[in-house]
Amino acid sequence: MVLSDVDRRLLERCLAREPRSWEDFVDRILGLVSHVVRHTAQSRSIRLTEADTDDLIAEVFVELLRNDMAVLRRFQAKSSLATYLTVICRRITVRYLLRQKTQPRTNSKSAPAQSSDDPGLKRIQNRDQIEQLLTGLNGKEAEVIRMYHLEGMSYREISATVGLPENSIGPTLSRARAKMKQLGLQG
């Protein structure tokens, strides 16, 4: 899909800093940004509170404004604006989620705790624990666990990297977690 005239004009107005252009831009893409943030977190089995979602959406808009809208200025109109912004938003969201995952929480009320009976969908938080768990797995399973838990890759990204069908990644993760549990390596 090519860049629409409406999006082209809106982007030009924004980059020229015309009055109300940023507000119009935000109104146009807010739904897209909100959807991408929620979907990206969900695809990584991360539960977000409303406050976390709002923070993430704000982070996306801050990044779009950073360095005189450098991200928007780099848009080359080789795709639709929505496609370009989806990729940008997803990258910002993943980076934010990974950064949040590595920082200790100071307020335990800020996010709901994931239950231990969650059927293998939660991500293991402790890097050392993951490394220990990987010793009990074969190559492909260890690779999938490493990519998902340590590198924060999506099922699609893992599928493309290891050559497994995308719908096989979840079951592979589940089997690997079950093996780790059987070996007594997972608490």
Give residue-wise pLDDT tens across range 110-168: 344 443 343 333 444 455 666 666 777 777 888 887 787 777 778 888 888 888 888 88
Rounded to whole angstroms, the Cα distance separating 93 from 24 reads 22
Nearest one of 104, 60, 81 to 4, comparing CA atoms: 81
Residue 104 has pLDDT above 60, yes or no: no
- Ordered domains of the chain (ranges, CATH): 5-110 (1.10.1740.10), 127-182 (1.10.10.10)
Residue scoring higher pLDDT (103 or 21): 21
pTM of the model: 0.55
pLDDT for 163 equals 87
Residue 93 has pLDDT above 80, yes or no: yes
Give residue-wise pLDDT tens across range 59-87: 899 999 989 999 999 999 888 999 999 99
Mean pLDDT of the chain: 79
Structure tokens at 4: 């629409």
The set of residues, in sequence order, having a beta carbon less than 8 Å from that of 83 and lying 6+ positions away, is 1
